[in-house]
């Protein structure tokens, strides 16, 4: 999390996941995404999405950025 007044950051490092990775790449991906989502939900105002995943859109669709 970012500290107030540009005072730096606090980084929390959790325990390693047991039985990870597995042979099931899709299940591993779902697990990682669920974890990321749970972390973002704790402080969504501090989440910063820098990757422009949807660079192109179908004609007539609104731009997401």
pLDDT digits (tens, 9 = 90+) for 12-43: 999 999 999 999 999 999 999 999 999 999 99
Roughly how many angstroms between the first and final C-alpha of the chain, as a whole number?
Answer: 24
Local structure of 2: helix, strand or coil: strand
Burial of residue 31 (CB within 10 Å: 0-12, 13-18, 19+) is: middle
pLDDT digits (tens, 9 = 90+) for 2-15: 898 888 999 999 99
Please report the pLDDT score of residue 10 as a whole number.
Answer: 93
Residues 6 or more apart whose CB falls under 8 angstroms from that of 65 comprise 52, 54
Could you tell me the pLDDT band of residue 53, with boundaries at 50, 70 and 90?
confident
């Amino acid at each position: 999390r970012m500290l107030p007044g540009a005072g730096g950051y606090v980084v929390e490092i959790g325990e390693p996941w047991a039985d990870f990775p597995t042979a099931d790449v899709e299940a591993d991906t779902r697990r990682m995404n669920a974890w990321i989502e749970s972390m973002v939900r704790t402080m969504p105002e501090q989440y910063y999405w820098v990757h422009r995943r949807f660079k192109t859109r179908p004609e007539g669709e609104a731009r997401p950025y």
